[in-house]
C-alpha cells in the first residue's frame, strides 16, 4: 500500500502546487489554501520516501502560505478603505466657460 501511495502521491502534491499557483496568478485567495495542501502533501511524501531534504522547502512553504493568506485580507481591507476614502475626497471639476 505504501508503494502505491508514494508512487502517485507526489503527482497529486505537484498538481495541487501548480493549481494553487495558477489560482494565485488569477488573484484567487483560495490559491493559498490549495498550495498549502500541496505543501502538506509534499511533507507526507518526504516522510514516506525518506527524502528529508524536501522538508527544507516544504515546511517553510506551508508557513509562507499561511502568512500570505493572513496578509491578503489585511491588504485587501486597507485597499478598500483607501478607495472609499478617495471616492469621498475626489470631486468632479467644473469646466470654466
With respect to residue 94, please indicate whether it lies within any of the assigned structural domains. no
What domain range is 79 assigned to? 2-87
Instruction: Tell me, yes or no, whether 18 lies in a domain.
Output: yes
Is 96 a member of any domain? no
Give residue-wise pLDDT tens across range 2-14. 677 777 898 999 9
Please check whether residue 97 lies inside any domain of the structure.
no
Cα(18)–Cα(83) distance, integer angstroms: 32
Provide the whole-model pTM.
0.70
92 lies in a domain?
Answer: no
Give per-residue pLDDT as tens, 43-63.
Answer: 999 998 888 999 999 999 889
| Domain-located, residue 17 | yes
**What is the C-alpha separation between 71 and 76, in angstroms, rounded?**
8
**Which among 21, 29, 36 has a CA at the least distance from the CA of 74?**
29
Residue 58 falls within a domain, yes or no?
yes
How far apart are the C-alpha atoms of 31 and 37, rounded to whole Å? 10
Total domains present in the chain: 1
Counting residues of the chain whose pLDDT is more than 90, the rounded percentage is 35
* Distance in angstroms (rounded) separating the CA atoms of residues 23 and 25: 5
In a domain, 23, yes or no: yes
| Confidence band of 39 (pLDDT split at 50, 70, 90) | very high
Amino acid at each position: 500500500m505504501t508503494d502505491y501511495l508514494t508512487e502517485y502521491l507526489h503527482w497529486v502534491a505537484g498538481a495541487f502546487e501548480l493549481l494553487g499557483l495558477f489560482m494565485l496568478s488569477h488573484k484567487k485567495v483560495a490559491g493559498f489554501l490549495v498550495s498549502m495542501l500541496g505543501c502538506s502533501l509534499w511533507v507526507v511524501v518526504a516522510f514516506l520516501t525518506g527524502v528529508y531534504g524536501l522538508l527544507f522547502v516544504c515546511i517553510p512553504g506551508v508557513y509562507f502560505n499561511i502568512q500570505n493568506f493572513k496578509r491578503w485580507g489585511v491588504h485587501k481591507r486597507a485597499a478598500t478603505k483607501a478607495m472609499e476614502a478617495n471616492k469621498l475626497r475626489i470631486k468632479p471639476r467644473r469646466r470654466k466657460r
